[in-house]
Amino acid sequence: MRSGAGTLTFDRSMMCGAPAKTVGWRDPGFIHTSFLKDLWPNIEQFYKLGHRLSNGTIIWSKKYKFRSSPYPGQDSLQRVIMFGDMGKGERDGSNEYSNYQPSALKTTDQIISDLENIDIVFHIGDLTYANGYISQWDQFTAQVEPIASTVPYMVGSGNHERDWPDSGSFYDKMDSGGECGVLAETMFYVPAENRAKFWYKTDYGMFRFCIADTEHDWREGSEQYKFIENCLATVDRQKQPWLIFAAHRVLGYSSNYYHGQEGSFEEPMGRESLQKLWQKYKVDIAFYGHVHHYERSCPVYQSQCVTSEQSHYSGAVKGTIHVVVGGAGSHLSDFSQVQPNWSIFRDHDFGYVKMTAFNHTSLLFEYKKSNDGKVYDSFTISREYTDVLACVHDSCEATTAAS
């Protein structure tokens, strides 16, 4: 079966500032996207990429393989990797400027070594840290190629992809080095309605993922808020019990040093609007990057732990578990000296998360260090569909006394 590809590129005039527009500019070539439709779900597929020359001959790539996604709701073994802020490293041992992402290669290599046991990967923002030096995107895509050619490599947008003053980003910072999102929006495909607004929903078997874009406004009344509510509300939990929210900055809970200094333990304005949505729609786990270490909360609502259980959760979804997993490679962040009650596991090291859904009622969560790939924190969730229907604090649907 052959499937055509669309071709995109961009030019220097689309960059918002220096260095992307000046010394960091390099022509990106072409980015091809092909949609493989009508695949049978959840079976191994082989593919290669071809380029037809003007004389009609076709140059073929090597052969790759991947497993097509399970049908939404399909019951099969499903394993998900989640991390943020990885960046890239040099295979030849040379250091990039200030050695900013010392463990990016370790994380990448651990995931590659376990790739047979991984079905989909989420890198939730701060992808390359190219920061306007465009050739660094090639370095990053070469590094993750063994992963991204084999399983879906789903990305989120972070400050280092998007932020630039007066360019429509929520923050007026220069963290993207003038890229203002153009690179991220073109180099990787995400199923967003508008790729310049980097929020999207995506399904993988028994999982529904709602991926937010913290570099655009998420507060109540915003376009993104409507999307988030729609994403959470439209999943049939009987078919897709595992509901995951993810975003780059910590919209939920973090006892990172500077969030602790502020006393808010979150990105400013982070959870004020969103916590009622997570609670109403009974989000299982919310993931964040931006802060470069690992931290896991209890199931929490309005800063209160809703259960004292720490390693095995069952029954009604009383609150969402918030996880910071921004330690995939970029230099580590410090924790605040205060460890709030809701913070039940902190690790000042490089690592990533793996979730395994065994079926509709059983999920395993594991935090692994990038150094050795071993598990340093874990918990399980077991529950029935009727537990998702159960009323909990602020989640009840309206009822009527009529009969």
Q: Which residue is nearest to Fe ion (CB)?
A: 290
Segment near Fe ion (CB under 5 A); pick from 108-116, 150-158, 222-230, 366-374: 150-158
What residue type is assigned to position 200 of the chain? Y
- In the bound state with Fe ion, the residue whose beta carbon lies nearer, of 289 and 299, is 289
In the bound complex, what is the minimum distance in angstroms from residue 160's beta carbon to Fe ion? Answer: 6
Residue 259 binding Fe ion, by CB under 5 A: no
Asked if residues 251 and 269 have their Cβ atoms less than 8 Å apart, the reply is no
Question: Binding Fe ion by CB under 5 A: which of 156, 158, 319, 351?
Answer: 158
Q: Could you give the angle at the alpha carbon of 357 between the alpha carbons of 355 and 359, nearest 5°?
A: 175
Polymer length in residues for the chain: 403
| Alpha carbons 130 and 399: distance in angstroms, whole number | 53
DSSP 197: S
Asked if residues 88 and 126 have their Cβ atoms less than 8 Å apart, the reply is no
Largest CA-CA distance found in the chain, in angstroms, rounded: 75
Query: Mapping DSSP to helix (H, G, I), strand (E, B) and coil, where does residue 215 land?
Result: coil
- In the bound state with Fe ion, the residue whose beta carbon lies nearer, of 89 and 125, is 125
Token digits of residue 149 = 């050619």
Contacts by 171-175 with C-beta closer than 8 Å and gap 24+? 171/215, 174/17, 175/131
What phi and psi, each to the nearest 5 degrees, are found at residue 264? Answer: -95, -25
- In the bound state with Fe ion, the residue whose beta carbon lies nearer, of 235 and 328, is 328
- In the bound state with Fe ion, the residue whose beta carbon lies nearer, of 158 and 351, is 158
Segment near Fe ion (CB under 5 A); pick from 106-114, 156-164, 301-309, 370-378: 156-164
Segment near Fe ion (CB under 5 A); pick from 51-59, 287-295, 298-306, 335-343: 287-295
Question: Binding Fe ion by CB under 5 A: which of 290, 292, 296, 354?
Answer: 290
Query: Mapping DSSP to helix (H, G, I), strand (E, B) and coil, where does residue 368 land?
Result: strand
Site size toward Fe ion (CB under 5 A) is 4
- In the bound state with Fe ion, the residue whose beta carbon lies nearer, of 159 and 279, is 159
Residue 126 binding Fe ion, by CB under 5 A: yes
- In the bound state with Fe ion, the residue whose beta carbon lies nearer, of 105 and 127, is 127
In the bound complex, what is the minimum distance in angstroms from residue 290's beta carbon to Fe ion? Answer: 4
Residue 159 binding Fe ion, by CB under 5 A: yes
- In the bound state with Fe ion, the residue whose beta carbon lies nearer, of 260 and 326, is 326
Query: Mapping DSSP to helix (H, G, I), strand (E, B) and coil, where does residue 159 land?
Result: helix
Contact residues: Fe ion, CB under 5 A:
126, 158-159, 290
